[in-house]
Structure 1
């Protein structure tokens, strides 16, 4: 079971994340905090595996919190979940030691998969901010597919092999319309404009 501490200055958002993540297998929210200082106290008490924190909060903000968590012995894994994608915040979070950086419009599945990935020692950066975080040359360094859901990854693997939607649907025993929806999500998440570019990006990522 992966234990998670949710840190956000908005109580409604904290409670919402707690409820949503509570439906995900293998994940348990063990506490909430309204700012970085309160989060550090909760970390001492609850010893979470992952801290999920907003970037901007009154008092000790998310970036200061990430830096403090990275300095603990042992360090605590942190994921920044925010609405802000400007360069200072993205680079600041990664530079402070965040294992993940996600925008708040991610789905519950995407968020849960990211938490599982960082708990395993991986790094998850939303593809939409990867170039800001690492620069163009380094975008391929972290796993660009780590943010995908299991179903999306299965479809992605078959797109990389050149299968059509109908062939993917037949192989996975799902509706062709479902495959189409996954393709739309893959295009958005991986920042590709068409299926050809998507197939090429997936082939490179999976090779």
Structure 2
């Protein structure tokens, strides 16, 4: 199921298109936004797999929203809908991180096909979910960016801490990196890295049913844990948590 954020200024079109997309068995419009500010709020909330962004939006053109979405999570593809025929503006949107810039003149079937292409681009051998306290979202987003830069084949998703339980159930990650310990229901225990946000607090790793503590771990420790998780998956083993 591909979960979509739909940011579109025209409320009637946005609601109608969202209704039609939601009727597709493999698609879900998880949120709608009519402005850049609303789009930013949902971006921070997380939980989406792809985004459709109309330009211009009500309060801003939308270029910065595309750039911010791509910067926060490059693995989430962004489809831009626009009426402009200006080649420079289209190039600017692509350079900002849009996966595709589509003319509104293509019709609904064209939009649906483009959305499906976004879903086809979601690949990754290892699924990792990051969640952190809202007071430390910079930590979460910086770690996410570093992992994507070092291990680009890993499917990384950043979510809010309050939605972590539901996102673990939906995404079925192999590894969770969070500031809190594992509180998911028994039977759904991915490998878990409780990464403390204060350097004097111990962090805890739970993988293969074994628990270990670490003091102020570095990025290399996180990458090693991701590599260990990947090795277990490739050899048919379960990188289960505690």
Q: State the TM bucket, normalised to the shorter chain.
A: 0.5 to 0.7
Quick check: 1:55 aligned with 2:55? yes
Q: 1:41-120 counterparts in 2 under 5 A?
A: 41-73=41-73, 75-120=75-120
Q: Which residue of 2 aligns with 1:133?
A: none
CA separation in 1, counterparts of 2:105 and 2:34? 20
User: Which 4+ stretches in 1 moved above 6 angstroms?
Assistant: none
Comparing 8-17 and 66-75, the one that deviates more: 66-75
Q: 1:17 offset after TM fit, Å?
A: 1.3
Residue 105 (structure 1) shift: 2.1
Q: How many residues align?
A: 122
Higher strand share: 2
> Normalising to structure 2: TM-score of the pair?
0.47
Query: Could you say what the CA RMSD is over the residues aligned between the two structures, in angstroms?
Result: 1.8
Structure exhibiting the larger radius of gyration computed from Cα positions? 2
Q: What's the CA shift for 1:30?
A: 0.7
Q: Which has a greater percent of helix? A: 1
The answer on 1:5 being equivalent to 2:5 is yes
Q: Is the 8 A contact 1:7 1:54 kept in 2?
A: yes
Match in the other structure for 1:28: 28
Can you give the 5+ residue segments of structure 1 that lack an aligned partner in the other structure? Answer: 123-207
User: Following superposition of structure 1 onto structure 2, how do residues 167-178 of structure 1 map, counting pairs within 5 Å?
Assistant: none
Return 5+ residue gaps in structure 2 as ranges.
Answer: 123-242
Contact 1:7–1:34, Cα closer than 8 Å, also in 2: yes
- State the SS of the aligned residue for 1:101: strand
Q: Which residue of 1 aligns with 2:40?
A: 40
